[in-house]
Amino acid sequence: MNKIQTCLWFDGQAEEAAKLYTSLFKGSKLGRSVSYGKSGAKASERTEGSPMTVEFEIAGLNLLGLNGGPHFKFNPSISFFIGCDNEKEIDGLWEKLAKNVRMELKKYPFAEKYGWCEDRFGINWQLMIGTRRQKVTPALLFANKKYGKAEEAIHFYVSQFPSSGIEMIARDEKTSAVLHSVFTLAGQDFVIMEGPLEHQFDFSPAISFVVGCEGQEEIDKIWSALSAVPEAEQCCWLKDKYGVSWQVVPEDWGKRMSEADPAKRERLMGAVLKMKKPDLRALQDV
């Protein structure tokens, strides 16, 4: 699994969404799943024994579906860019994904065919004909109060992870706003754009990025570099200075949770719920 995993927060629809998305792309698959124990169910107001998480992969992008409840909602601040090989592919994906349309699927000055839509779960997708190194890519939109900070954010993120770099930044000639950028974090592509100032949405914990760390030293380093909102620190979650949510966890956390017997899984979850930043020594002792 890649070092950075994208987490999608659903209100009970994680498995349904994972099955849909994996059916749409070649080379996709469902992975490990974990059910709620007593502690996690109580904290999340879910039913004990109900599905908590499901791992899945779409076209090489690793994702984690989390049934966290109604607390957070998806919005266009983070979408997924899909590079399509031809018109047949883009039309087929659009038919399956487009419940609500933000930009019509048609020819634009910047693309032979492009469209921006929202699916039935509320997740936003940008589809465009054109080969991309990574077929499905998380895309962050810096709008409203974040407008003008996109290029700063790109350089900040790239500086925090090994095997990272900037592939391209396209700027508006008049305003210097970032129209489109592609950069790599720990070997995975990301996109950042800047949108109109009048957009009222902001980054939501409904989509977060999970960083798997090799040990406590790496956890401490990444946590210190990224965390900028003390009140958002909880259960391995944090927010950075741009409002983007991250989870910093042991690299084997998913395996540890899925393979543990129910009693140990309950102890692990109970320990994590009391933490802000992960404490590997405390987790080893449960």
pLDDT in tens, the chain (286 residues): 469 999 999 999 999 999 999 999 998 999 999 999 998 988 888 999 999 999 999 999 999 999 999 999 999 999 999 999 999 999 999 999 999 999 999 999 999 999 999 999 999 999 999 988 899 999 999 998 899 999 999 999 999 999 999 999 999 999 999 999 999 999 999 999 998 767 778 999 999 999 999 999 999 999 999 999 999 999 999 999 999 999 999 998 888 888 888 899 899 999 999 999 999 999 988 8
For 47, residues 6+ apart whose C-beta sits below 8 A from its C-beta are 36, 41
Point out the domain boundary residue: 145, 160, 194: 194
Examine the domain organization and report whether 102 and 172 are in the same domain: yes
Examine the domain organization and report whether 58 and 137 are in the same domain: no
Examine the domain organization and report whether 96 and 188 are in the same domain: yes
| Residue 130 falls inside a structural domain | yes
| Residue 199 falls inside a structural domain | no
| Residue 177 falls inside a structural domain | yes
Number of neighbours of residue 34 by Cβ within 10 angstroms: 19
Tell me how many domains the chain contains.
2
| Residue 238 falls inside a structural domain | yes
Q: How many residues does the chain have?
A: 286
Can you count the helices (H) and strands (E) in the chain? 8, 15
| Residue 200 falls inside a structural domain | no
Examine the domain organization and report whether 113 and 140 are in the same domain: yes
Examine the domain organization and report whether 43 and 127 are in the same domain: no
Examine the domain organization and report whether 186 and 247 are in the same domain: no
Examine the domain organization and report whether 156 and 259 are in the same domain: no
Examine the domain organization and report whether 98 and 83 are in the same domain: yes
| Residue 105 falls inside a structural domain | yes
Point out the domain boundary residue: 161, 194, 227: 194
Q: Is the dihedral of CA 210, 213, 225, 238 positive or negative?
A: positive
Examine the domain organization and report whether 92 and 162 are in the same domain: yes
Examine the domain organization and report whether 189 and 217 are in the same domain: no
| Structural domain boundaries enclosing 35 | 4-71+205-284
Point out the domain boundary residue: 152, 170, 194: 194
CATH code, domain carrying 239: 3.10.180.10
Q: How far apart are CA 126 and CA 94, in angstroms?
A: 10
Examine the domain organization and report whether 21 and 87 are in the same domain: no
